[in-house]
Amino acid sequence: MLFNMKLFGDITHVTCIDCFTANGTLFFLTAMGNASKAIGSGGKNIKILRNKLNKNVKVFEKSADSCELAKNYLFPTKPKKCENVEGTMEIEFNSSRERRYLLDNQQRGLKELKAVIARYHPDIKDIRIL
């Protein structure tokens, strides 16, 4: 993972806080406000990383709040409401089209979101999509 973090920093000129793999995707966590710089104009930095690492790459920003972290992960999709209820995160979307972002492709997006939330907020046990 250190190699991946070093390569990320060399290509994007952004410091990577954390890097991990889940469900075949390589995740990079950046400080607040640095995700757009890391992605680059037109996603050019991500395209370079994908070609060099031969993996799907996802970049998102750090947040101390679990709902804000979920919103950062889901960007550009914007949930209507997100709240924590007794160890369960409930995310509500405006339309079924936005909900499909998580639930299509054998729920790959939802599995990745659960891995991200479990890594940084272990007190959240389940995620419900409304």
Residue 26 sits in the same domain as residue 46: yes
11 SS3 class? helix
Q: Which pTM value belongs to this model?
A: 0.83
Exposure of 120 by Cβ count < 10 A (0-12 exposed, 13-18 middle, 19+ buried)? Answer: middle
Q: Is the pLDDT of residue 106 over 80?
A: no
For residue 91, the enclosing domain spans 66-129
Please give the average per-residue pLDDT across 28-34, as a whole number: 90
- pLDDT tens digits, one per residue of 68-96: 988 888 888 888 899 988 889 999 988 88
Q: What is the radius of gyration, based on Cα positions, of the chain?
A: 15
Number of structural domains found in the chain: 2
Instruction: List the end-to-end C-alpha distance of the chain, in Å, as a whole number.
Output: 35
Residue 53 sits in the same domain as residue 84: no
Per-residue pLDDT at 51: 92
Residue 42 sits in the same domain as residue 73: no
Q: What is each CA distance from 97 to 60, 79, 91, 104, 108, in whole angstroms? A: 22, 12, 14, 10, 16
For residue 54, the 8-state DSSP code is: T
- CATH number of the domain enclosing 122: 3.30.300
Residue 14 sits in the same domain as residue 53: yes
